[in-house]
Amino acid sequence: MVQAFLTGIHPRSERLVEATRRYDRGLTTNEELQDVLRDDILQLVRSQEDADFTYITDGLLNWQDLLRLIASRIEGISEGPLTRWYDNNNFYRKPIIIGEMTWKPDEERPLIHTSLLPPTKRWKAILPGPYTFATLSDNKHYSDNIQVLDHYADALKEEIRELEEIGVSQIQLNEASMVTQRPSKDLMEKTKETTSAIGKASNASIMIHTLFGSIEGILPDLLDFDVDIIGIDFYQTDLESISDIDITKKIACGCIDSRNSIVEDRCQIAEFVRQVRNKLNPPEICLCPNCDLEFLPRIKADEKLAELGQACRLLEEEN
């Protein structure tokens, strides 16, 4: 079986965008907004099921950015300024670490809408990885990022334990900063330690996903992490540059360009995946977008999702 899944925030439909604007202006109720959000999530769930995706997400359609909701569930963090999201035209709210970080569950603001997802134990959660969270935060409490990594990872383990209790079976840790702001040797070792501890404490499949940069310089290090899957942005990584590395883990092949509105053809996707398989010979290969599809209009994102599913079917027929 060829696995496939989404890797980030999905764009909202025009109807949900308009409903959100009306709510912000006081022109509609929260109940009406939640009804539209529910419809949007259900449509996305159906699209993923139609594409036979291995893991299903709710599209993170109620997330303003990757960090804000998780930061709100950790004591010792306040909201900082809007800050550019890497080299994109999107922004995130910078977490300001002002005290000891400890996990605080919030039943009123769930991370994922499991009640709307199919009861198949195929749910997926996407969270900021430890190194990325540390580098994108403003630390005003701890002596260094080594301590930030430790305390964030402890909070994340509690969050993941709760996610597993409601049926989440894949946890994706986004680590864009690892390829855009390479860690020092000490920080790489600490990230390996904290991420591996998360993996050992979890029964879910753990995936590290790298995006917005080439994985070339750090892939050997990541292969030593105690995780199940390494995600690679192949629109930033040259396949030839990593072809001499012994790949010992499953690879999630970021073969859909989430920052370009041109919809890839299923045959071209399948052919590239064959090249990756032949060059790297990983134990298993999965298909996914290279990053969040939120950078695109909803209709284009949904078309790319469908083509990814069709590419999987082509590859399945060869097995």
Residue type at 226 in one-letter notation:
D
CATH number, domain containing residue 118? 3.20.20.210
**Is the separation of the CB atoms in 234 and 287 below 8 Å?**
no
Residue 120 has pLDDT above 80, yes or no: no
Phi, psi torsion values for 211, nearest 5 degrees: -155, 155
Is the per-residue pLDDT at 117 higher than 90? no
Answer with the residue of higher pLDDT: 191 or 1.
191
Cβ atoms 57, 29 nearer than 8 A: no
Domain residues for 150? Answer: 3-318
What does the pLDDT look like over 147-206, one tens digit per residue?
999 999 999 999 999 999 888 999 999 999 999 999 999 999 999 999 999 988 889 999
End-to-end CA distance of the chain: 8
The structure tokens listed for 158 are 């509690």
User: For residue 288, what are the contacts with CB-CB under 8 A and spacing of at least 6?
Assistant: 4, 5, 6, 7, 209, 231, 252, 253, 254, 255, 256, 308
Average pLDDT over residues 9-32: 93
Indicate whether 29 pLDDT > 70.
yes
- Quick one: pLDDT band at residue 113, thresholds 50, 70, 90? confident
Q: Can you list the alpha helix ranges (DSSP code H) found in 201-245?
A: 219-222
Reported confidence tier of residue 240, pLDDT bands at 50, 70, 90: very high
CA distance readout (Å), 291 to 7, 119, 288: 6, 26, 8
Task: Assess contact for 6 and 289: CB atoms under 8 A.
Answer: yes
DSSP H or E stretch at residue 185: helix 185-200
Q: How confident is the model at residue 121 (pLDDT cuts 50, 70, 90)?
A: low
Cross-strand partners of 209? 174, 231
Give the residue-averaged pLDDT of 79-102: 96
pLDDT at site 118: 67
List Cβ neighbours of 8 (8 Å cut-off, separation of 6 or more): 60, 66, 126, 174, 211, 258, 289, 291, 292, 293, 294
Question: Any idea how long the chain is?
Answer: 319
Average model confidence (pLDDT) across the chain: 94
Residue 158 neighbours by CB distance under 10 Å: 16
The label of the residue with tokens 């306040």 reads 78
- H or E element, residue 314: helix 298-318
pTM: 0.95
Domain count, the chain: 1
Question: What are the structure tokens assigned to 108, written together?
Answer: 């009123």
Cα distances from 307 to residues 50, 75, 265, in angstroms, run 11, 42, 7
Mean pLDDT of 77-97: 96
